[in-house]
Structure 1
């Protein structure tokens, strides 16, 4: 098999043409404090059993805390939640400053006013290059409101516009 060399900058530029949604993955850390990370790589995987997945970077400092919890919540952000996105991308103890959330029956931080929340049990973690492929078995899910989603496209955040 011949290995092809792909320039990382070209890889990001070309794949940046594909828009993604923006989600915050949350859990409670070992000290019972909220842990979280922003991802644009969330997807449905299976209906039977109900599985979803996302791809955290292996260099993430938040992912090990979420993995250790064994459960996580996917919070789908709306276009009006840029402040939540910015807060959760902060380092250390600043991640949840100003972010409203409630603790679910599964002991997961559910971000208030997100478009949807999907609570999961960790199902599997598979190596995928410089990322992990994480799958979660859905335990509970809820569509909270019908606003437009936050999208990420070509390195920028934006909104969905319906084509008529």
Structure 2
């Protein structure tokens, strides 16, 4: 096993949520899925994502003003796979809406954030993107989609 494959497997031991990062581009939704999302600061309100330098979608999104960030719900596995695929209609059968500022938010998500890129940093084979949060809306009854050990999983309440 190569060191990169071993490290990828090691990192997969940490469960993460999955976030759709989306915006309108020429009146059409453009988006991608990321699982390297984290809250950074409450004052000012900041979050960060890490984007692969090989992404063909991020250069388009990075130039938009507002970006919609939707923490995907447990029923969004198919959408998440589409948002991670190349050469497909990523929004086929997806339910979404755009804000007046062009941020695209996924319906039935656990959390919506409207953000703008504030800074970027070198992260090796990724770019670390610090974003300022302008709007936030939570949906506590939505169970988030979880990615763990390279599989999608659901959270279950203790019974």
State the distance in 2 between where 1:62 and 1:159 align: 27
Counterpart secondary structure, 1:162: coil
Equivalences for residues 10-89 of structure 1 within 5 A: 10-29=6-25, 31-89=26-84
Which of 106, 109, 114 aligns to 1:114? It is 109
Task: Output the CA distance in 2 between the equivalents of 1:51 and 1:132.
Answer: 16
Is 1:137 aligned to residue 137 of structure 2? no
Q: Determine if contact 1:87/1:99 at 8 Å carries over to the other structure.
A: no
Q: Which sections of structure 2, spanning at least 5 residues, go unmatched? A: none
Q: TM-score, normalised by structure 2?
A: 0.92
- 1:17-45 CA distances to partner (integer Å, 9 max, x unpaired)? 1110011111122x232111111111100
Gaps of at least 5 residues in structure 1 are: 1-5
Structure 2 residue matching 1:86: 3-state secondary structure: helix
Taking structure 1 as the reference length, the TM-score comes to 0.89
Q: Deviations over 1:50-71 (max 9, x none)?
A: 0001001000011001101132
Aligned partners of 1:127, 1:33: CA distance in 2, in Å?
A: 30
Q: How many residues are aligned here?
A: 158
Q: Secondary structure at the match of 2:74?
A: coil
Structure with a larger share of its residues in strand: 2
State the Cα distance separating 1:99 from its structure 2 match. 0.9
User: In 2 relative to 1, CA 93–83 (structure 1 residues): closer, same or farther, beyond 3 Å?
Assistant: closer
Of the two, which has the highest radius of gyration?
Answer: 1
Aligned CA-pair RMSD:
1.6
Moved more, 149-158 or 103-112: 103-112
Q: Runs of 4 or more off by more than 4 Å in structure 1?
A: none
What secondary structure does 2:62 align onto?
helix
**Quick one: distance in 1 between partners of 2:133 and 2:142?**
23
